[in-house]
A and B are shown apart, each in its own frame.
Chain A
Amino acid sequence: MSIEKKEFKPKIVAFCCNWCSYAGADLAGSSRLSYPADVKIIRVPCSCRVNPMFILRAFEKGADGVIMCGCHPGDCHYSTGNYYARRRMTLLFSMLDYIGVENGRTRVEWVSAAEGVKFSDTMNSFVEKIYSLGENVRLGDLRCRS
């Protein structure tokens, strides 16, 4: 995957649940499936640990895209965590869309521990999307731009 290098280097935060997606990212790594270095992963126990405030915080501090990955629905290590996460993120993303934030800046993908390829593909396409959207100017604290 080659993305043309421009001035714009996006900051992308990926929240990954410990049991599936973080392991999926590990598998992508051990399979040497590359994706852009713009993505930085934060490990959380479960997608249901991801508070909407974390996502807004990332945008506030200058993130250009935030993606959350968790176990596939039905496969949650804690049985139901990703079901709650799914509703929370759906509503949050809908609200961001509603206030005019480009909806490609946020994404949820379910990536299992076996899906290294999916993890890398997902990150590649997400980063590409963020490049196409450009810098996040609608959601961010101006003080963090200097």
Chain B
Amino acid sequence: MQRIGVFVCHCGSNIAATVDVAKVAEMALMEPGVVHAEDYQYMCSEAGQAKIADAIHEKKLSGIVVCSCSPRMHEATFRKAAERAGLNPYMVEIANIREHCSWIHKDMEEATKKAVILMRAAVAKVNLNTPLKPGESRVTKRALIIGGGIAGIQTALDIADAGYEVDIVEKTPSIGGRMSQLDKTFPTLDCSACILTPKMVEASAHEKINIYTYSEVEKVSGFVGDFTVDIRKKARSVDMDKCTGCGVCQEKCPSKKAPSEFNRGLNTRSAIYTPFAQAIPNVPVIDREACIKFKTGKCGICSKVCQAGAIDYEQKDEIITEKYGAIVVATGFDTINLDKYDEYAYSQSKDVITSLELERVMNAAGPTHGHLERLSDGKAPKEMVFIQCVGSRCSDDRGKPYCSKICCMYTAKHAMLIRDKYPDVNVTVFYIDVRTPGKNFDEFYRRAVEQYGVNYIKGQVGKVIPQPNGKLLVQGSDLLDNKQILKEADMVVLATAIEPNPDVRKIATMLTASIDTNNFLTEAHAKLRPVESPTAGIFLSGVCQGPKDIPETVAQAGAAAVKAIGLLAKDKLMTNPCTAHSDELLCNGCSTCENVCPYGAITYEDKEVNDHGIREVRRLAVVNSALCQGCGACTVACPSGAMDLQGFSNRQIIAEVDAICR
């Protein structure tokens, strides 16, 4: 039996004006377990807290009920007060007789009655409280960044600058990501490479940053502060220590038919290649699918021409196992597959291209060396049509239901750049809505219209028909003029919807990070915790969380870094003691609880139990209290009642129910 003290606060007149506090204290003494009750002007004051401490000592209290304001106000205060007096802080319960009672009721008798009931419920609960102790877990002071695009690079730099070790794992041979493929960036028209390359160099030169390119995350185990990750370093076939990056191998390589990933397949590359000139690391890889040596065993030219002797055909994949305290996901995006949008003739004409392809066309290092030309015949276009929302905002299964967010702005950018560089080219943009929220964004779009004379037409394109003369007939709506437009164009550019990198689902599963129906990673809270995954220790950076432009991505990357630093800065993690706990003798091992846990905190183990003399090995749920956040979803999913929540146990809640209903 507990020895409970009940303390009723007047809160000046806030409570005392409508609740007979003395009566509440008097009634409290009738409750089982209550050995002390008093009321006082301000319980939260120092004098009030001293009263609690005194009573704990004098009456040897084992539990405390404070009838006062909301626990959201002063629960922490009273818990600390109890702790200072030597009582476990979780032996304190609050009866909210202010917000839930005195402030909303006028009738003194009625309010007092209710306050008594709320007090009883709290007493009933405290009777079943048990001392709880927050757990501790250590923090490995190292962060893992999955993805080496601008989001990953920025997060890595910020974390490393704070003095922590960071590893970046990048799937492709070089860091840089999508941004390295862009020509110019809105709204200031900086050259993308000019602002990205210094960041890439900085990252690679940073003593705290270690970059694994051509590598993938293979396995993740552990939990916040203490993850263990296997990284597969794919065989590069080139010794990174020996290679000088001279590029001779790439020049001499006889196999040059592999489509260039960097140039979106618009031209080809050699089998041994670095994706682009500024690649970091500047060490080529051999594409074993395309390499003649690997396919036929004959060739070996690269090995012969390499003066550094860096070519190693025998190299094998390597698994690196490392421990991390925090993991940041920065897996980025890709454009969607356009197979289902045949009306735009993307597969039929080389002159229908995606916006990302246009970036490569416009880029000096691209397939046309920066000349705007038709990919079919190399002729300079005179009429260009841009189509917005290709695959975005679609409620059917052809596209994506969301707005890809960046298309309006980059289309304005493209239109502007073309009109600037090639004033004789007419540019028409078919749009549904032009969405330009952002600093200097709408001004930018207006410049395209007002200063550069880009022709914006409100309406969607229904179809693009390749003509025998090589032109493209664009049939679209002009909703404002209520006309159907037929327009001949030389090139058509599709603002293709973006989608999360297809690998993200696999990664999310490994991390037990939740993912939404569009494969974007879910944030812990849409508004208040936008860069954290609900899974503790996992942070989100960039487009993997939702469509964003570069400034937003960089901002979020910084935010994710700060959250990760906040975690890494701790030596130990105090874990919330109100976590789920499974009764081994009742657990069926059915996995139902595991299926509803949003944090991956429940795992199953084969354990030997002694069930009243029956010894057997059973499959049992084990809660990792470092991961458990105490939501209680598992407790209701568990049919046998094996899973219970400390601090909000089944019996505690039932005791409250009983007290209220009696």
Contacts and interface: CB of A to CB of B under 8 A. Distances in A.
- Chains A and B in contact, CB within 8 Å: yes
Interface of A: 11, 13, 18, 22-23, 25-26, 28-30, 32-35, 37, 40-46, 48-54, 57-58, 61-63, 74-75, 77-81, 84, 88, 120, 144
B419 interface: no
Interface string B99-141: 1110111110011011001100100000000000000000000
Nearest to B658: A61
Contacts of A25: 99-100
Given A28-B104, A37-B101, A37-B105, A79 B661 contact: no
B633 A48 contact: yes
B598 A78 contact: yes
B629 interface: yes
A40 B117 contact: yes
6 shortest A-B CB distances, which residue pairs?
A: A29-B99, A49-B632, A61-B661, A78-B631, A48-B633, A46-B631
Contact of A79 (B522, B650, B658): B522
Given A48-B633, A49-B635, A75 B526 contact: yes
Given A25-B100, A29-B99, 12 more contacts: A26-B100, A29-B70, A29-B101, A30-B103, A37-B107, A37-B114, A43-B71, A63-B661, A78-B598, A78-B629, A84-B596, A144-B661
Nearest to A42: B656
B653 A41 contact: no
B632 A33 contact: no
B71 A61 contact: no
Contact of A48 (B71, B105, B106, B636): B636
Contact of A46 (B72, B632, B637): B632
A2 B524 CA distance: 41
B648 interface: yes
Contacts of B118: 40
B648 A54 contact: no
7 contacts: A26-B99, A45-B631, A46-B632, A46-B633, A54-B653, A58-B661, A80-B633
B514 interface: yes
A51 B100 contact: no
Interface in B598-633: 598, 629-633
B645 interface: yes
A93 to B, nearest CB: 15
Contacts of B534: 78-80
Contacts of B648: 44-45, 49
A26 B72 contact: yes
Given A37-B113, A49-B635, A88-B636, A80 B658 contact: no
Contacts of A80: 514, 534, 596, 598, 633
Which of A23, A43, A84 has the largest number of chain B CB atoms within 10 A? A43
B660 interface: yes
B654 interface: yes
Which of B96, B522, B656, B658 has the largest number of chain A CB atoms within 10 A? B656
Interface residues of B, number: 48
Contacts of A120: 104
Which of A23, A25, A49, A61 has the largest number of chain B CB atoms within 10 A? A49
B530 to A, nearest CB: 13
A44 B114 contact: no
B189 interface: no
A25 B633 CA distance: 22
B21 interface: no
A63 B121 CA distance: 14
Nearest to B114: A37
A138 to B, nearest CB: 16
B650 A51 contact: yes
A25 B99 CA distance: 7
A137 to B, nearest CB: 15
B633 A81 contact: yes
B219 interface: no
Given A40-B660, A61-B657, A29 B104 contact: yes
Contacts of B598: 78-81
B413 interface: no
B653 A42 contact: yes
A32 B662 CA distance: 27
A77 B99 contact: no
A120 B98 CA distance: 15
Given A75-B526, A84-B633, A30 B661 contact: no
B578 interface: yes
A62 B104 CA distance: 24
A59 to B, nearest CB: 9
B637 A84 contact: yes
A122 B631 CA distance: 24
B525 interface: yes
Which of B70, B522, B637 has the largest number of chain A CB atoms within 10 A? B70
A79 B636 contact: no
B100 A41 contact: yes
A32 B103 contact: yes
Contacts of A63: 657, 660-661
B425 to A, nearest CB: 45
A62 B662 contact: yes
A79 B662 contact: no
A11 B419 CA distance: 73
Which of B96, B106, B107, B636 has the largest number of chain A CB atoms within 10 A? B636
Contacts of A75: 525-526
A94 B463 CA distance: 49
A9 B629 CA distance: 38
A3 B654 CA distance: 29
Contacts of B629: 78
